Amino acid sequence: MRITNVRSGRIIRIGSACAILVILIYTLFNYSRSEAVSGELGERTFDVHPEQYKSHKDVYPVLKTELGNFEPRNKRSVNGPGEGGRPYNMPQDRANDIAEAESEYGMNIAASDDIAMNRTIPDTRLDECKYWHYPENLPSTSVIIVFHNEGFTVLMRTVHTVIDRSPPNILHEIILVDDFSDKENLKENLDNYIKRWNGKVRLIRNAQREGLIRTRSRGAQEATGEVIVFLDAHCEVNLNWLPPLLAPIYRDYRTMTVPVIDGIDHRTFEYRPVYSHGTNYRGIFEWGMLYKENEVPDREASLHKHSSEPYKSPTHAGGLFAINRKYFLKIGAYDPGLLVWGGENFELSFKIWQCGGSIEWVPCSRVGHVYRAFMPYSFGNLAKNRKGSLITINYKRVIETWFDEEHKEYFYTREPMARFLDMGDISEQVALKEKLQCKSFGWFMENVAYDVYDKFPKLPKNIHWGMVKNKASGLCMDTMGKAAPSYIGTSACHGAGNNQLFRLNEAGQLGVGERCVEADNDSVKQAICRLGTVDGPWSYDEDLNQLIHRLHSFCLTLQPHSKTLALAPCDPNNTYQKWTITHKKPNW
């Protein structure tokens, strides 16, 4: 098995929703056709052309030998900064501008400012995509873009590409929702700029900061199209991106669709595919609720004749998707108790799947997204009076609503601190789940997210968790905030955050976050845990307080002079080999 990290050109960003570990499993595709049609329509209170659900005639895209009905006929070839999606390397004398832009926006807005709004980008689709013909009368669409302090040209390029690359009769409107930005050029300047679109682009502004989750729900309320498409405020949609996204929704209003996301480099604005050509991935998760991607398993791939066809996915990254507006509102939009950023992608996914809908990824719809260097904004007042990680609070709300007891246990094993977090009141979410008669999480795991277990098996219980404190020195094991793989260090014990929070499980795995502690004679490292495994070499001697590496039969030792960690022959009298692993209920 090979593990590949994609996003930002094969870089993993751990600890954010963009921390995507793509797992390449080379599967043999079995081309046998079976129709993934939902025959039963359920309650229909929507204005989504009921007659089309009675017969499935004319609602399916058809692959022909002639160019697709929505394919652009004329292609441009232009020279200039960033044209063709090529990297734009700014001259050396602009180094200060670049540094300033990067630190203010997490991306090089100075480069974006030099690049044409309607620049050309490479067509990253499979060639086959050009030959699909879609139903002509696809549903009218509102594109919703929420933003907080985004770079002006990046935000406007998102709008320009949507206008330029969407069929005008299908694109009903673009709604920009300003989540209380304070940048000057996003005020009057923006009001004036969008006038060129004669009302097709609408701008609404929050009276206070709401966070992206509530802001999106507001956009959905305000929209008047039949389908809504959400985009982050730093995207470029690719050729003929919209019809393939709409076709599955037109067929069944309970299907949410997700484009395949390409990468736009935050420094050079190079536009490039994230996945290797022709391979399909889908969204999954690990038990700490970090978003992951996995090559589409055979069980799903074998249902499709063409690799350009949409396929089912357990979840999605969060930012870019299309959904029938009334359906989105009927299933409660997003849980309004979710705060600012994170976990909403899982909430919506579990809700859709468990309550009768489905999620499809659409290989012929491609949208570029700028992966930032870091998150440039704070959570502001929204994080006030919240103890502990806001994102983990969101995860807790989602898992307490949608998981069953067995799976909740895996989450708390992986994120033991989450037990102590105050998630607020979820009774309305639970009532909604009852009302919609949603299926169990077990059903979801067995029928939809079955590939999660292959990579992230059920977790054995923790024997001990918390700070790993050395008796002789009083120091604690510490990740030192470094990215894996790297050495594990030691520092004064504080137990705050996650850097000193280790877990030893029944199967001998010593973990910290999604990493595992690995050791040889002269070093102790953290590395991403081997996929598909939950065991490890460690055991804890309760009497001698030793952490024993069973493979080497050596003990974990703090080296007195360097304060670094190593393995050494076990010596019951050596207090540098004695460790306690303890946690306290946090003092919140």
Q: Which stretch binds ligand LR7 (CB under 6 A): 83-91, 143-151, 217-225, 440-448?
A: 143-151
- Choose which of 107, 111, 163, 212 interacts with ligand LR7 (CB under 6 A): 212
Q: How far is the CB of 435 from ligand LR7 (least distance, A)?
A: 26
- Minimum CB distance to Mn ion smaller for 197 or for 377: 377
Q: Which of residues 87-116 bind ligand LR7 (CB under 6 A)?
A: none
Q: How far is the CB of 319 from Mn ion (least distance, A)?
A: 5
Beta-strand pair 291-295/21-24: parallel
Name the residue whose CB lies closest to Mn ion.
Answer: 232
- Minimum CB distance to Mn ion smaller for 232 or for 451: 232
The answer to whether the beta carbons of residues 172 and 138 sit under 8 Å apart is: no
- Minimum CB distance to ligand LR7 smaller for 264 or for 567: 264
Q: Half-sphere exposure of residue 222, counting CA atoms within 13 Å on the CB side?
A: 21
CA torsion sign, 436 to 437 to 441 to 445? Answer: negative
| 344 contacts Mn ion (rule: CB under 5 A) | no
- Minimum CB distance to ligand LR7 smaller for 4 or for 545: 4
| 150 contacts ligand LR7 (rule: CB under 6 A) | yes
Whose CA is closest to 526, among 498, 473, 486? Answer: 486
Going across the sheet that includes 554-558, the strands are: 538-541, 546-549, 554-558, 565-569
Q: Which of residues 466-485 bind ligand LR7 (CB under 6 A)?
A: none
For residue 9, which phi and psi values (nearest 5 degrees)?
Answer: 60, 55
Q: Which stretch binds Mn ion (CB under 5 A): 132-140, 232-240, 379-387, 526-534?
A: 232-240
- Strand segments, DSSP code E, in 213-289 are 227-231, 235-237, 255-264, 271-272, 281-285
Cα–Cα distances in Å, from 172 out to 52, 175, 199? 21, 10, 10
For residue 317, which phi and psi values (nearest 5 degrees)?
Answer: -70, -30
Question: CA-CA distance, 283 to 289, in Å (whole number)?
Answer: 12
Give the 3-state secondary structure of residue 69: coil
- Choose which of 211, 243, 368, 466 interacts with ligand LR7 (CB under 6 A): 211
Report CA 275 to chain centroid distance, whole Å: 15
**Per-residue interface string for the shown chain with ligand LR7, residues 326-345, x marking contact by CB under 6 A:** --------------xxx-xx
Question: CA-CA distance, 298 to 485, in Å (whole number)?
Answer: 31
How many residues appear in the chain? 588
Q: Compute how many other C-beta atoms are within 10 angstroms of the C-beta atom of residue 202.
A: 17
- Minimum CB distance to ligand LR7 smaller for 377 or for 412: 377
- Minimum CB distance to ligand LR7 smaller for 132 or for 291: 291
Question: CA-CA distance, 413 to 429, in Å (whole number)?
Answer: 24
Question: CA-CA distance, 513 to 211, in Å (whole number)?
Answer: 26
- Minimum CB distance to ligand LR7 smaller for 76 or for 187: 187
Q: Which of residues 258-287 bind ligand LR7 (CB under 6 A)?
A: 261
Q: How far is the CB of 540 from ligand LR7 (least distance, A)?
A: 37
Q: How far is the CB of 176 from ligand LR7 (least distance, A)?
A: 10
Adjacent-strand bridge partners of 476: 469, 491
Q: How far is the CB of 345 from ligand LR7 (least distance, A)?
A: 5
Question: How many residues sit in the footprint of ligand LR7 (CB under 6 A)?
Answer: 27
Question: CA-CA distance, 536 to 523, in Å (whole number)?
Answer: 16
Q: Which of residues 377-406 bind ligand LR7 (CB under 6 A)?
A: 377
Residue 21 partner contact from ligand LR7, Mn ion, none using kind-dependent CB cut-offs of 5 to 8 Å: none
| 232 contacts Mn ion (rule: CB under 5 A) | yes
Residue 286 partner contact from Mn ion, ligand LR7, none using kind-dependent CB cut-offs of 5 to 8 Å: none
Adjacent-strand bridge partners of 547: 540
Greatest extent of the chain over all pairs of C-alpha atoms, in Å? 81
Among all chains, which residue has been given the structure tokens 């001259």? 91
Adjacent-strand bridge partners of 23: 3, 294
Question: CA-CA distance, 450 to 293, in Å (whole number)?
Answer: 13
Q: Which of residues 213-232 bind ligand LR7 (CB under 6 A)?
A: 215, 232
| 157 contacts ligand LR7 (rule: CB under 6 A) | no
Burial (CB < 10 A; 0-12, 13-18, 19+), residue 331, is buried
- Minimum CB distance to ligand LR7 smaller for 181 or for 462: 181
Whose CA is closest to 500, among 580, 399, 560? Answer: 580
Q: Which stretch binds Mn ion (CB under 5 A): 225-233, 243-251, 257-265, 417-425?
A: 225-233
Residue 518 partner contact from Mn ion, ligand LR7, none using kind-dependent CB cut-offs of 5 to 8 Å: none
Residue 344 partner contact from Mn ion, ligand LR7, none using kind-dependent CB cut-offs of 5 to 8 Å: ligand LR7
Q: How far is the CB of 442 from ligand LR7 (least distance, A)?
A: 26
| 318 contacts ligand LR7 (rule: CB under 6 A) | yes
Q: Which of residues 48-87 bind ligand LR7 (CB under 6 A)?
A: none
| 548 contacts ligand LR7 (rule: CB under 6 A) | no
Residue 148 partner contact from Mn ion, ligand LR7, none using kind-dependent CB cut-offs of 5 to 8 Å: ligand LR7
Structure tokens at 8: 């930002």
Cis peptide leading into 485, omega within 30 of 0? yes
- Minimum CB distance to ligand LR7 smaller for 148 or for 503: 148
- Site residues (CB under 5 A) for Mn ion? 232
Residues that bind ligand LR7 (CB under 6 A): 16-18, 20, 146-148, 150, 179, 211-212, 215, 232-233, 261, 317-320, 340-342, 344-345, 369, 375, 377
